Structure 1
Amino acid sequence: MGAPTPRCIIVRHGQTEWSKSGQYTGSTDIPLTPFGERQMVRTGESIFSNNRFIDPNHITYIFTSPRTRARQTIDLVLRPLTDEQRSKIKVVVDEDIREWEYGDYEGLLTPEIVELRKSRGLDQERSWNIWRDGCENGETTQEFGLRLSRAIARIQNLHRKHMEEGIPSDIMVFAHGHALRYFAALWFKLGVEKKCEADWELKDVESYHDESVPYVKLDKYRHLIDNPNFLLDAGGIGVLSYSHHCIDEPALALAGAFIPPPEEESQHAKV
């Protein structure tokens, strides 16, 4: 084998005042706390300098939410890299990977959301589940799933191209708690598949501006109907990849950021 199997490395931004308190933070653009800044500096030193879990020369793209807390996190994590290494990484700001639009629940705690919904006569037969029920005056799970499905399609398309060219390709995604857990679930093809039929599903959305990233038109997408039961704390990192060196077999890399030599990858047979 030549180049290692491509990976998608997801990074949740560092601590903010609202991630610390548990308040739902979607469109509110707040910065990292001083602890969150130190947290992400340590993360960058660990994965690039001390343990070298990620080879910076293998990073082809970084996709980021437009929010300040995500973009701050990139700068802090990449601090150990040289100017030359950073200059070779394309950073794409993508609205499709912004956090869930929480609508009426922005800034609230979960118990407060539950009480608000109860006061409006909702959830009389079953408890609120954001993964299924979405947010009042915010996004439905279908809307959230569609835009994350678009982002995944673009990243997997780039990975396919890089694999065909024999280029090592780690693509990093810097975003948020709900967005990245949802993203990971869709990567594994969890949830349900939905055909694009409504106007809002068929619409071409300009969520980013980079001619090197081809737009992938979807005729179907996936969305969740229940909690995927994934955890990703502020500052956390997860690694998504593919089984058998095949883009059509997305998988979780249980070894995390650790990099085995290509010849040691478990890609030799379907078991």
Structure 2
Amino acid sequence: MGKVPTPRCIIVRHGQTEWSKSGQYTGLTDLPLTEYGVGQMRRTASCVFANKFIDPDAITYVFTSPRTRARQTVELMLEPWTEEQRSKIRIVVDEDLREWEYGDYEGLLTHEIVALRKSRGLDQERPWNIWRDGCENGETTQQIGLRLSRAIARIQNLHRDHQAKGIASDIMVFAHGHALRYFAGLWFMPCAEKVCETAEELAQPKTYDDSTIPYVVLNKYKYLDYNPNFLLDAGGIGVLSYSHHNIDEPALALAGAFVSPPEEESQHGDVK
């Protein structure tokens, strides 16, 4: 069996919407892509697939948020693929990949959120930080951390299985600005950890419908209590992988979508 590339998790933020263009916080509001956003994702797909930065034949799963803007982005990105390539891929809609639920801040701009919180007597000692403080009547950072930890555990479990079987495995994840930056932070950065003990944490509902994906039960999960300072514009792509071919060493792939042939991956081999 020949050597296969180190597994990768390729994260893709949906294309431009009217609210991503204006800067309004878009959680559960189900907006479509703008005309520009549609063209944006077609151009991106043409670039990454035509140049083999991402090889469709190496993709094992596509995970997507249930929101229209994410699912529309999946459809546009897969347009250049052949029917045979599309028939081999499993597209999985996963509720855990939805955007941060912004609650009272849905549809607002950052300065409007800051003013709203000030009017309610909040943030008197330090400025609002969504990564630490969450959203009123929306999700806390622990809540989004819990569901994204579940999604990551499933993907890393699939990667571990594929690597053991010698299967090349790029898994694509289509979601949103805050959710994907949070996802990337959990993937490889030092994070706070919490044992699952509340009813919500222990419930761990199945948020997708695909019998080929084992459900991983978490005893503990990670969450952010600081801003990871990542940028991911609408339509942007990031790549997460592993050091030393080791699934227990999640890492950021600074080369992005570009990938070297497996035989040239010596810098990721046994030398640390």
State the TM-score, normalized to the length of structure 2: 0.98
Residue 70 (structure 2) aligns with: 70
> Do 1:189 and 1:222's aligned partners in 2 also have CA atoms closer than 8 Å?
no
Residue 250 (structure 1) aligns with: 250
Give the counterpart letter for 2:19 in structure 1.
Answer: W
Quote how far apart the aligned CAs of 1:57 are.
0.3
Residue 114 (structure 1) aligns with: 114
Quote how far apart the aligned CAs of 1:52 are.
1.6
Quote how far apart the aligned CAs of 1:199 are.
1.1
Quote how far apart the aligned CAs of 1:204 are.
2.4
Residue 146 (structure 1) aligns with: 146
Whether 2:40 is the aligned partner of 1:39: answer yes
Residue 227 (structure 1) aligns with: 227
Aligned length: 270
- 3-state DSSP class of the match of 1:116? helix
Deviations 1:147-174 (A, max 9, x none): 0000000000000000000000000000
Whether 2:104 is the aligned partner of 1:104: answer yes
Residue 20 (structure 2) aligns with: 19
Rounded Cα–Cα distance in structure 1 between residues aligned with 2:84 and 2:200: 41
Whether 2:30 is the aligned partner of 1:29: answer yes
Quote how far apart the aligned CAs of 1:87 are.
1.0
Residue 10 (structure 1) aligns with: 11
- 3-state DSSP class of the match of 1:226? coil
Across the aligned residues of Structure 1 and Structure 2, the Cα RMSD in angstroms comes to: 0.8
- 3-state DSSP class of the match of 2:138? coil
- 3-state DSSP class of the match of 1:10? strand
Rounded Cα–Cα distance in structure 2 between residues aligned with 1:189 and 1:114: 27
Give the counterpart letter for 2:162 in structure 1.
Answer: H
The unaligned stretches of length 5 or more in structure 1 are none
Residue 166 (structure 1) aligns with: 166
Give the counterpart letter for 2:200 in structure 1.
Answer: W
Whether 2:90 is the aligned partner of 1:85: answer no
The unaligned stretches of length 5 or more in structure 2 are none
> Do 1:11 and 1:175's aligned partners in 2 also have CA atoms closer than 8 Å?
yes
State the TM-score, normalized to the length of structure 1: 0.98
Rounded Cα–Cα distance in structure 1 between residues aligned with 2:149 and 2:204: 13
Residue 55 (structure 2) aligns with: 55
